Chain A
Amino acid sequence: MTAPLLHFESVTQRFGGLTALDAVGFDVGAGEIVGLIGPNGSGKSTLVNIMTGTLTPTSGRVLMDGQQISGTAPWRIARAGVARTFQMLRLFRTMTVAQNIALAMQPTMEAGYCASMLRTSLARREDTQARRKAAEMLALFELDGFLDHPATTLSIGQQRMVELARGLATAPRVFVLDEPAAGLSPPNVDRLIKVLRRMRDDYGVTVLLVEHVMRVVQAVCDRVVVLDFGEKIADATPAVAINDPRVVEAYIGLGRAKHD
């Protein structure tokens, strides 16, 4: 068995007297889509913030390919190959869709700031390639016409797709999705499910998916990890986990989780 791509090792987070995460540990294998679910307040956001560097765990660590990424600056983790989307949907408001996506590729480019200022051929070539990649990504998400539109002129559903395109364009090792289905209409949720499947099947992206919308979780996740009050209470395939009595109990009869 190959070593897991992502390894959460006994991650604990305390805020003063409150324990948000209690020795949470699990693995994510390369090419898997792992769901992270649990009722509100179970610690999902905290775990995501630790994974992406916004928080440093009180104890425990997160390893990617055997290297520790927890406790390092968010930009370093991003450059190590971790892309993310945000629950609150974040895009650069004063930029176009193409610029948003191209900018995400900038940190991995060869030409530095000086080369870009002097407009060297390498810099210009990379810029052209980035733009082409952005167009390619948008085509994947059926948004080709919007390349040069200001990002804010798109609908919420479309903006979420742009967020996904932004992450995918960087060919990340791990893609952390924070409630991508939130606020999406049912047809857009279908689209999201299709896109997520393509990301795994065609692009081999490893995904950590935080989600409340059970339909998505059941449709795409290879496994789910269930949190409740900061503890891991299940780690199995969606079908098994959802029927686990502890999980049912945590959701008070699964009525809490949204069925679309």
Chain B
Amino acid sequence: MVMIFIYVVLAVSLDLVMGWAGQVSFAHAAFFGIGAYTTAIMQRDFGTGFWLNLPAAMVMAGLCGFLLGLPALRLRGHFLAIVTIAFQTIVYLALSQWTSFTGGQYGIEVSSVSGFASIERFYYLAFGLSLATVVVSWLVTHSRLGMAWQAVRDDEVLAQAIGLNTTASKLAAFVLAAAFAGAAGVLVAHHIRGVTPDDFTILTSATIVAMVVIGGRGTVWGPLLGAVVFMALPELLGAAARYKLIIYGLLMIVMVTMMPQGVFGVWARRRQK
């Protein structure tokens, strides 16, 4: 259950980049991992706890989002996607090879959050974070920044011609999304009591992308729905859960070819009629 909340944070934040700012990013798991490793390393080296590590990790992840976005957003569609994949892979390689700092393939152990050690208590923490993410996402997308993103999606040339700094608005999406992914990372680190590189691979990124695409890009409930469905899928599949990834892949193809607005997008459109 906690994992569902964590993926809600990841999917909703990625949608800021994919659904709103209209860019493709396969680097989300990298920011997820950066957040997780930040809290792990801070706890290991400085002895600090969850409440200090959380903002620190968000800042760290957000900063990395900025550093990636700044050069990457100058590029068009596929080039941007490739750079995000390259970044994701570099982060993964660094986490798994830089053994002295990151513990390599074995990772780092993380202790639980004091006062929230029990599973029910942690559940509330996770719920709180996912709620905060949804609320902030709603506020941002219904603000002038959201309008700017909508403008960029509709017609970027026009957006620039009326004075909107489109690169800056895309960068804002990147940074915001990365920061929340970092927060999710802190949560997961304390939840499973450790961080290892294999929790933050390109496949993880692709799964989050799939959640957003299948749920519905650019909608409030879409990514939320996507996250819940994806996490529930292995339960529903039961024995066939081994085929989970095959189904993810198939769903991504089917959704994009037949229902690009995602499940929620289609439902919302039907409601309008």
How many residues from A make CB contacts under 8 Å with B? 32
Which of A75, A91, A94, A116 interacts with B163 by CB under 8 Å? Answer: A75
Interface residues of A in 91-120 (CB under 8 A from B): 91-95, 99, 103-104, 106-108, 111-113, 116-118
Indicate if the CB atoms of A94 and B150 lie closer than 8 Å: yes
Indicate if the CB atoms of A94 and B154 lie closer than 8 Å: yes
Given that A113-B145, A116-B143, A117-B145 are known contacts, is A107 also in contact with B154, CB under 8 Å in the complex? no
Indicate whether A194 reaches chain B with its CB closer than 8 angstroms.
Answer: no
Indicate if the CB atoms of B143 and A92 lie closer than 8 Å: no
Indicate if the CB atoms of A86 and B158 lie closer than 8 Å: yes
- Chain A 57-100, CB within 8 Å of chain B: the 1/0 string? 00000000000000001110011000110100011111100010
Given that A92-B155, A93-B155 are known contacts, is A78 also in contact with B145, CB under 8 Å in the complex? no
Given that A93-B155, A113-B172, A117-B139 are known contacts, is A84 also in contact with B161, CB under 8 Å in the complex? yes
Residues of A within 8 A of B145 (CB): 113, 116-117
Indicate if the CB atoms of B163 and A117 lie closer than 8 Å: no
Which of B143, B153, B157, B164 interacts with A107 by CB under 8 Å? Answer: B164
Residues of B within 8 A of A86 (CB): 158, 161
Indicate whether A13 reaches chain B with its CB closer than 8 angstroms.
Answer: no
Indicate whether A166 reaches chain B with its CB closer than 8 angstroms.
Answer: yes
Count A/B pairs, Cβ under 8 Å: 80
Residues of B within 8 A of A91 (CB): 155, 158
Residues of A within 8 A of B99 (CB): none
- Chain A 11-53, CB within 8 Å of chain B: the 1/0 string? 0000000000000000000000000000000000000000011
- Chain B 135-172, CB within 8 Å of chain A: the 1/0 string? 00001100111011011011101111111111000001
18 chain-A/chain-B pairs, Cβ below 8 angstroms: A73-B160, A74-B157, A75-B160, A75-B161, A75-B163, A75-B165, A78-B161, A78-B162, A90-B155, A90-B158, A93-B154, A94-B153, A95-B150, A103-B147, A107-B163, A111-B144, A113-B143, A117-B143
Give B contacts to A, CB under 8 Å.
139-140, 143-145, 147-148, 150-151, 153-155, 157-166, 172
